[in-house]
């Protein structure tokens, strides 16, 4: 309990709320507002409740703030604020009810109080706002973390920094239900004893964590082996002034990031992590274009265009940090929750989705580690994330059912654009291995206008192009400057020359973007963005009848030549035939010009009088 402990002057010090009615514990720069935290009872209680979520295995906390004062007659009065802090509300807190005393904590009343807590829920728009705010905070914290480690800790390579973050998160997540408790700062003793260095302790904790998650042995061994190369070196474990470099870095990571991943954001957390950390890895500009993160709202769009549902089998041949697979998993679980009303059946289906209905391939080992961590954090869907070359992939499950083909019926992709055909080589490979379903890929637009002719022609021998969507030029602002298109396919049926293709100009998607490093929000919905994204999905699936926000210039139905391969980026044709109105306006403009010219050429009155 957080309580003000003096009397007489604290009547207005119970709680400070922001403009949206939330406990105001962060300032305009998304930094802790210690003035409010120190001055208001509820604000302080909520702050310390977040510390409980951050540093312990508890996931639900009741924050109680109490302040007291004397009224005009000298009688002691008090005010009480009771808030629920949990993963479900992102640690921001929800007011439970009005209370005049603490009797709700008594044994005979406590069950009713807990029932009231269980009934609390946030509206979806509020959840989205909190997600956006937390994502902004995560980005700022990652920048600060990298700067701190880069400036203060010597001898750590770019890969070392990435692996240290991954290792620290795995070690501190824990799995209390399986008796794996989060690693704490106190557990690291900075000892030089053989097999008991800080690195050894962290590796043992990670092994226990991966065992609890029931990862296949060869996947677990690969992860441990990769992290071991960084965690067990002599330099990082050597104690100076009683503390190893590994412990110092571990403390920084947990202090800066723990509050976010321990609360359990239902978002592409390691996508955000990856988006910042790929800049740590020393990639060239071409490589940056290859590894740029797909924004979460675009990942969700691809899933919906590929018609992903609870029964889909989804694969991605250039997984990156697994952002697309996380989006697919979320769509599948949401669909299952919507359609399955039996709790037992829903639990079985959710486990099946995570274990057997998602498959991703990533060839870069450092990026692969982020993908595995991402899926673990988002619900253990890591069993078929494979560290393999997509172009040599045989289509089988990587773990468990290794003798069975993965029955893919949904393909989503943001390929490396430096690959052959701007990445269409991956599309041709994946779609040729599928018998049915849908695919949605986002790719450099030159892939559809000449850079991938042979791959495109091959794709159309077994798949139908349904839609070509021009995306905003600034979609990846600050990360990459390429113009992209989304192509949507129906798989298992060759494209015919009379098949209608929907060509959609989505240059205005409703978002305004910027790349200001100090900005707290570089993505703003300024023109009905959410509605535009939903309408795009409807137009691709159902056609022109769903047009509302889009205009005739934005949407065009046409055909392509399956033997061309370079005509995928068409735009709505401009009608150059003049109308009667055009003719009338031209004549009117000409007559106006004639009259104006005559008036200008008339002699002035003085000239007419000869003066």
Q: What is the pLDDT of residues 316-355, one digit of tens each?
A: 999 887 889 988 998 999 999 999 999 899 989 998 998 8
Question: Looking at the domain assignment, is residue 302 inside a domain?
Answer: no
Q: What is the pLDDT at residue 285?
A: 43
Cα(213)–Cα(117) distance, rounded to whole angstroms?
A: 30
Q: What is the pLDDT at residue 228?
A: 93
Q: What is the pLDDT at residue 266?
A: 52
What one-character-per-residue DSSP string does 215-273 give? --HHHHHHHHHHHHHHHT-HHHH-EETTEEHHHHHHHHHHHHHHHHHTTT-SS-HHHHH
Does 197 lie in the same domain as 146? yes
Does 226 lie in the same domain as 144? yes
What one-character-per-residue DSSP string does 285-332 give? HHHHHHHPPPPHHHHHHHHHHTT--TT--EEESS-TTSHHHHHHHHHH
Question: Looking at the domain assignment, is residue 292 inside a domain?
Answer: no
Q: Which residue, of 122, 157, 187, is where some domain finishes? A: 122
The enclosing H or E element of 152 equals helix 124-152
Q: What is the pLDDT at residue 331?
A: 93
Cα(328)–Cα(469) distance, rounded to whole angstroms?
A: 20
Contacts of residue 544, Cβ cutoff 8 Å, sequence gap at least 6: 555, 557
Lookup result for tokens 């310390």: 48
Q: Which residue, of 204, 238, 261, is where some domain finishes? A: 261
Does 238 lie in the same domain as 130? yes
CB neighbourhood size of 280 (10 A): 20
266 backbone φψ class: left, alpha, beta (φ>0; ψ -120 to 50): beta
Q: Phi and psi dihedrals of 156, rounded to 5?
A: -100, 120
The enclosing H or E element of 138 equals helix 124-152
Does 140 lie in the same domain as 63? no
Does 134 lie in the same domain as 251? yes
Does 145 lie in the same domain as 63? no
Instruction: Tell me which residue range forms the domain holding 155.
Output: 126-261
Domain count, the chain: 2
Cα(21)–Cα(594) distance, rounded to whole angstroms?
A: 66
Q: What is the pLDDT at residue 4?
A: 35
Here the tokens at position 416 are: 């490396």
Question: Looking at the domain assignment, is residue 374 inside a domain?
Answer: no
468 close to 495: Cβ distance less than 8 angstroms: no
371 close to 274: Cβ distance less than 8 angstroms: no
Here the tokens at position 445 are: 């637009």
Question: Looking at the domain assignment, is residue 363 inside a domain?
Answer: no
Here the tokens at position 464 are: 């139908």
Cα(119)–Cα(339) distance, rounded to whole angstroms?
A: 22
337 close to 307: Cβ distance less than 8 angstroms: no
Question: Looking at the domain assignment, is residue 140 inside a domain?
Answer: yes
Cα(223)–Cα(589) distance, rounded to whole angstroms?
A: 75
Does 10 lie in the same domain as 87? yes
Closest CA to 426 of 523, 361, 366, 477: 361
298 close to 442: Cβ distance less than 8 angstroms: yes
Does 219 lie in the same domain as 143? yes
188 close to 246: Cβ distance less than 8 angstroms: yes
Question: Looking at the domain assignment, is residue 40 inside a domain?
Answer: yes
Q: Which residue, of 122, 141, 165, is where some domain finishes? A: 122
Give pLDDT < 50 ranges for the chain: 1-8, 283-288, 607-611
Question: Looking at the domain assignment, is residue 464 inside a domain?
Answer: no
Q: What is the pLDDT at residue 6?
A: 32
Closest CA to 165 of 180, 179, 148: 148
Q: What is the pLDDT at residue 5?
A: 33
Does 63 lie in the same domain as 146? no
Q: What is the pLDDT at residue 146?
A: 77
Does 108 lie in the same domain as 134? no
pTM: 0.74
Does 67 lie in the same domain as 116? yes
Q: What is the pLDDT at residue 45?
A: 94
Cα(375)–Cα(269) distance, rounded to whole angstroms?
A: 10
Could you tell me the CA-to-CA distances from 125 to 121, 131, 132, 262 in Å, in that order?
12, 10, 11, 23
Q: What is the pLDDT at residue 119?
A: 83
Q: What is the pLDDT at residue 605?
A: 52
DSSP 511: E
Q: Give the sign of the dihedral formed by CA 432, CA 436, CA 442, CA 448.
A: positive
Could you tell me the CA-to-CA distances from 377 to 38, 119, 361, 382, 439 in Å, in that order?
33, 26, 18, 9, 26
Lookup result for tokens 């929800």: 94
Contacts of residue 331, Cβ cutoff 8 Å, sequence gap at least 6: 300, 303, 304, 308, 309
Question: Looking at the domain assignment, is residue 130 inside a domain?
Answer: yes
Using CB atoms within 10 Å of the CB of residue 120, give its burial: 0 to 12 exposed, 13 to 18 middle, 19+ buried. middle
Does 165 lie in the same domain as 111? no
Q: What is the pLDDT at residue 277?
A: 65
Q: What is the pLDDT at residue 220?
A: 86
């Amino acid at each position: 309990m957080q309580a003000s402990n003096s009397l007489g002057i604290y009547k207005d010090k119970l709680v400070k709320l922001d403009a949206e009615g939330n406990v105001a514990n962060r300032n305009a720069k998304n930094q802790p507002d210690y003035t409010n935290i120190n001055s208001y009872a509820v604000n302080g209680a909520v702050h310390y409740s977040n510390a409980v979520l951050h540093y312990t295995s508890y996931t639900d906390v009741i924050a109680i703030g109490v302040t007291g004062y004397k009224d005009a007659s000298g009688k002691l009065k008090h005010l009480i604020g009771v808030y629920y802090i949990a993963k479900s509300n992102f640690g921001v807190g929800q007011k439970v009810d009005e209370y005049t005393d603490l009797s709700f904590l008594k044994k005979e009343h406590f069950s009713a109080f807990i029932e009231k807590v269980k009934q609390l829920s946030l509206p979806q728009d509020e959840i989205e706002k909190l997600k956006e705010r937390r994502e902004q905070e995560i980005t700022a914290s990652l920048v600060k973390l990298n700067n701190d480690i880069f400036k203060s800790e010597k001898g750590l390579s770019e890969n070392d920094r990435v692996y240290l973050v991954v290792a620290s998160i795995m070690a501190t997540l824990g799995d209390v239900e399986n008796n794996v408790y989060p690693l704490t700062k106190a557990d690291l003793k900075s000892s030089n004893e053989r097999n008991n260095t800080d690195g050894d302790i962290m590796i043992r904790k990670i092994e226990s964590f991966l065992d609890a998650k029931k990862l296949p042995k060869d996947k677990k061994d690969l992860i441990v082996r990769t992290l071991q190369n960084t965690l067990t070196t002599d330099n990082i474990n050597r104690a100076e002034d009683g503390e190893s470099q590994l412990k110092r870095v571990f403390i920084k990571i947990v202090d800066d990031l723990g509050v976010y991943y321990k609360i359990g954001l239902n978002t592409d957390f390691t996508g955000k992590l990856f988006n910042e950390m790929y800049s740590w890895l020393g990639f060239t500009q071409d490589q940056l274009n290859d590894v740029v993160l797909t924004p979460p709202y675009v990942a969700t769009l691809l899933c919906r265009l590929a018609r992903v549902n609870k029964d889909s089998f989804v694969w991605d041949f250039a997984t990156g940090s697994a952002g697309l697979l996380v989006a697919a998993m979320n769509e599948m679980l949401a669909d299952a929750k919507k359609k399955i009303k039996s709790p037992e059946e829903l639990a079985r289906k959710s486990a099946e989705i995570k274990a057997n209905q998602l498959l991703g391939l990533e060839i870069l080992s450092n990026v692969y580690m982020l993908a595995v961590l991402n899926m673990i954090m988002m619900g253990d869907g890591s069993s078929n994330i494979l560290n393999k070359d997509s172009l040599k992939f045989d289509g089988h499950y990587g773990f468990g059912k290794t003798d069975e083909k993965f029955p893919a019926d949904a393909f989503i992709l943001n390929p490396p654009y430096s690959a052959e055909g701007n990445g269409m080589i991956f599309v041709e490979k994946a779609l040729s291995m599928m018998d049915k379903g849908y695919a949605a890929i986002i790719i450099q637009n030159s892939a559809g206008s000449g850079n991938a002719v042979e791959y495109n022609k091959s794709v159309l021998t077994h798949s139908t192009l349904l839609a070509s969507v021009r995306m905003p030029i600034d979609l990846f602002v600050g990360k990459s400057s390429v113009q992209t298109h989304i192509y949507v396919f129906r798989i298992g049926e060759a494209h015919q020359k009379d098949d209608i293709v929907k060509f959609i100009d989505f240059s205005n998607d409703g978002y305004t973007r910027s790349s200001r490093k100090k900005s707290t929000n570089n993505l703003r919905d300024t023109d009905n963005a959410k509605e535009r994204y939903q309408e795009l999905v409807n137009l691709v699936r159902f056609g022109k009848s769903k047009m509302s926000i889009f205009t005739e210039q934005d949407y065009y139905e046409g055909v392509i030549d399956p033997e061309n391969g370079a005509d995928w980026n068409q735009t709505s044709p401009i009608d150059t035939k003049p109308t009667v109105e055009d003719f009338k306006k031209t004549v009117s403009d000409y007559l106006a010009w004639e009259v104006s010219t005559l008036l200008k050429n008339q002699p002035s009155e003085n000239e007419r009088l000869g003066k």
